Structures are given as structure tokens and as C-alpha cells.
Amino acid sequence: MNLQTEIFGAVIVVHTPDELSKDMADNVERFLTSLERNNVVLDLDNTEMIDSDGLAALLDAQEKLHELGGDLKISTTNHANRKILEITRLDAQLEVFDSVVDAVRSFI
């Protein structure tokens, strides 16, 4: 799997695919934890569908990144994705930001 990324110093921004579902969840998790940087901002703006497997993959990736001394933070202006994170209470476990810039700055 190859997702679009951008590097900002010690932080890498990963832009998610259209769907973060069962079919993609394991691949996305492996991708996030195999990067050359362990501080990751996941940009969910272009993701149109997230299911429980996708959400579990985010938590698993965050746990693995913590073990490597890093962290996973979420960026999204997509109202539906933000609502999913709120309803599932994942916004209490994953830091969620309104912009990629704010998420990247939070690592400094």
C-alpha cells in the first residue's frame, strides 16, 4: 500500500484513502507503523467511509507508534468523520485537530 504523504520535520502527514474499511484497515495500519517517522498526522478529509475495522486500525496504529516513541494524531474538517470519532468516543483517545497545520504543530 502506498498513500500520499508529506514530511514536516520529524512529522509525517498521511492522507487516507476514500474508504477506511475492513478491506483497507490492516494495510493502512501496517503503512502507518512502517514509516520512517513515528510522529504521524492522519488526514481524514478525503475519506468518505470509515467502519469499525478502520477505527480499530487507528487505535492499533496509535498503540504501536507509542511503543516506538511516537504518536498518531488526526486531522479532519470532514463533519461526518468528526461525528464518527465523537460518537465512538475515539476523539477522547486520539487527538483530533481541525487542520493539518495544527496537528503538526502539536508535536513541537
pLDDT < 50 positions in the chain: none
Residues 6+ apart with CB under 8 A from 101: none
Of the candidates 2, 73, 7, 9, the residue with the CA atom closest to the CA atom of residue 44: 73
What is the per-residue pLDDT across 35-46, written as a single tens digit (0 to 9) for each? 999 999 999 999
0.75 cut: is pTM over it?
yes
Degrees, nearest 5: CA angle 82-89-71: 80
Number of domains in the chain: 1
What is the per-residue pLDDT across 62-80, written as a single tens digit (0 to 9) for each? 999 999 999 999 999 999 9
CA distance 73 to 89: 15
Q: Where in the sequence is the domain holding 51, given as residue range(s)?
A: 5-105
CATH number assigned to the domain comprising residue 63: 3.30.750.24
Instruction: Return the pLDDT at 23.
Output: 87
Instruction: Return the pLDDT at 1.
Output: 73
CA distance 105 to 15: 17
